[in-house]
Amino acid sequence: MIKVEIFSEDLADIKLVNEYWGQDEDGKFIVKTSNLLPFKDIKTLPKLLDYILSISKAWNDKYSCPSCGEPFLCTSRTDSQSSFKHHRDCKECEIRKKDALLQRKQKEQLLLQQRIATRIEHNAKIRYDYSKIPVHIKLLLIGLSKALTSSSISNGFKVDECTELAPTGKEIFAIIKKLIAEGVIIDSPSKANSNAYVLNDDKSLSYYYYYVTYVFVPDKAGTPISDTIRLLRQRRITPCDKIYQVWLDIATSDCMAYFEMQNSHHGLEIHEDDYQKINNLIRTSLEKYSMSEVWSIIWRIVRDAAALSTRSYYNKDKASKTLLGKLQRLLDLILKNEASTMPWNRSQGSSVSILSQFFYELFEIDEYTPAEQVKLIFSKKDQIEDFSETHSKSMYILQQAVEYNIEKDVLNSFADLIRKGETIDATLDFIMHNYSLG
């Protein structure tokens, strides 16, 4: 129902306003607007409406602002019926809300800048003891440094500068995360665009891995990072199980890159839910077959799935979903000697990643190296590594025992524990701890 308030006391004016807004029981306007003309010296409808609005106000009590509850003023008959106003705020509320939003954003921006400033201060103090860097992290770090220019090593880099590091973006991402977790690289807020950082719901700071700039964490000893990297490169990388695990990761991603390339030739795609399972199967296969053999396995299953996709009752999506099952079945057949593998060449257009190349330089492992040989390379040296660790531990204990004049006690304890069936390593650890020699 339209309600009016008239500011004029002229009876003609009052009649005009009432006739303009007057409705019957069904809500239909009673007098046609054209019948209201001419009015005084007004001869057109727009002018008449201007005049009505200048001497009165009208509102439809059906429609009011959802925020403040004030009814909307009607500017014309059409306007008075317009139901879209149901869901809209009045102008005052709109402005009020916009202002509040702006203020909140400014406040958040300020808080974000404060958090970034705190992080800059915090990160600047972080150091890493490169003399104790684990061997697999050292390998990854050297690989990363090979992917970067000397300027990026000293001044910072982004993930997209490391595209040659590993065969797939996923693997590069995983490596960056590992290096961050170990504390050898860190984000540098002062070097990144501010849009790389965001506030979480709990107002803590987080950043986008791809947009942020990373730097190598300075050495605890104060050596410039370029020298630290140079020194790390000179140190020997001892093969061990941790390095084998890195090799498996890189080889797996080399196979997954091949998989994706073959799929794209045929318009197929590994189903999201199957990706990790396929990745795990490939990783396990690399413990039995060389990379080039695994490529041939992949080639076969993609070829079969592609053939399937052309059948009338199949499509690319359905065929893509068969890849996991086909891989499992073929691997089972090969295991039972009912199918064979054959070495496959690296496909054209697929370059050797920096880490794959690094494995060749360090251990002469490439895509043709049989899985058993790869295992041997890492396990043989494993024993030497274990031995050398045990050896240096016992040397240290003996030196300390002599220094503190407790060699007799230490040797007695050693003999005692060995007699009780303890291993050499556990015994040495116990002695270190018990005599506070660590």
Residue closer to Zn ion by CB (options 90, 144) is: 90
Q: Which is nearer to Zn ion, 67 or 123 (CB)?
A: 67
Interaction mask 8-47, Zn ion, x per CB under 5 A: ----------------------------------------
Q: What is the largest CA-CA distance in the chain?
A: 125
Structure-block tokens of residue 4: 């009016």
Minimum distance of Zn ion from residue 84's CB (angstroms): 15
Of 60 and 279, which CB lies nearer to Zn ion in the complex structure? 60
Q: How far apart are CA 92 and CA 382, in angstroms?
A: 75
Min CB(69)–Zn ion separation in Å:
7
Region near Zn ion per CB under 5 A, out of 38-46, 84-92, 135-143, 271-279: 84-92
Shortest distance in whole angstroms from residue 198 CB to Zn ion: 32
3-state secondary structure string across the chain: CEEEEECCCCHHHHHHHHHHHCECCCCCECCCHHHHCCECCECCHHHHHHHHHHHEEEEEEEEECCCCCCEEECCCHHHHHCHHHHHCCCHHHHHHHHHHHHHHHHHHHHHHHHHHHHHHHHHHCCCECHHHCCHHHHHHHHHHHHHCCHHHHHHCECHHHHCCCCCCHHHHHHHHHHHHHHCCEEECHHHCCHHHEEECCCCCEEECCCCCCEEECCECCCCCHHHHHHHHHHCCCCCCHHHHHHHHHHHHHHHHHHHHHHHHHCCCCCCHHHHHHHHHHHHHHCCCCCHHHHHHHHHHHHHHHHHHHCCCCCCHHHHHCCHHHHHHHHHHHHHCCCCCCCCCCCCCCCCCCHHHHHHHHHHCCCCCCCHHHHHHHHHHHHHHHHHHHHHHHHHHHHHHHHHCCCHHHHHHHHHHHHHCCCCHHHHHHHHHHHCCCC
Residue closer to Zn ion by CB (options 65, 406) is 65
Q: What is the closest distance, in whole angstroms, from the C-beta atom of residue 89 to Zn ion in the complex?
A: 5
Count of CB atoms within 10 A of residue 97's CB?
A: 12
Contact status, residue 123 vs residue 188, Cβ threshold 8 Å: yes
Looking at beta carbons only, is 77 or 96 nearer to Zn ion? Answer: 96
Instruction: Choose the binding region for Zn ion from 86-94, 135-143, 339-347, 388-396 (rule: CB under 5 A).
Output: 86-94
Min. distance of Cβ 64 from Zn ion in angstroms? 8
Comparison of 90 and 185: residue with beta carbon closer to Zn ion:
90
Interface segment toward Zn ion; rule CB under 5 A; list 18-26, 92-100, 200-208, 300-308: 92-100
Stretch that binds Zn ion, among 1-9, 87-95, 255-263, 394-402 (CB under 5 A): 87-95
Shortest spacing between CB 77 and Zn ion, in angstroms? 23
Q: Which is nearer to Zn ion, 90 or 268 (CB)?
A: 90
Which residue of 4, 49, 73, 93 would you call a contact of Zn ion, by CB under 5 A? 93
Cβ closest to Zn ion, residue 65 vs residue 135: 65
In whole angstroms, the minimum distance from the beta carbon of 95 to Zn ion comes to: 10
Query: Minimum Å distance from CB 190 to Zn ion?
Result: 45
User: Which tokens sit at 197?
Assistant: 């950082």
Minimum distance from residue 23 beta carbon to Zn ion (Å): 25
State which of residues 17, 58, 90, 397 lies at the interface with Zn ion (CB under 5 A): 90
327 vs 331: CA distance, rounded Å: 6
Q: Least Å distance between CB 81 and Zn ion?
A: 20
Cβ distance to Zn ion smaller for residue 95 or 333: 95
Q: Which of residues 48-77 bind Zn ion (CB under 5 A)?
A: 65, 67-68
- The stretch near Zn ion (CB under 5 A) out of 85-93, 216-224, 273-281, 426-434 is 85-93
Residue 276: CB minimum distance to Zn ion, A: 52
CB nearer Zn ion, residue 72 or residue 344: 72
Cβ proximity to Zn ion, 97 vs 107, nearer residue = 97
- Neighbouring CB atoms inside 10 A of 20's CB total 23
Total residues binding Zn ion (CB under 5 A): 5
The verdict on 238 binding Zn ion (CB under 5 A) reads no
Which residues are at the interface with Zn ion (CB under 5 A)?
65, 67-68, 90, 93
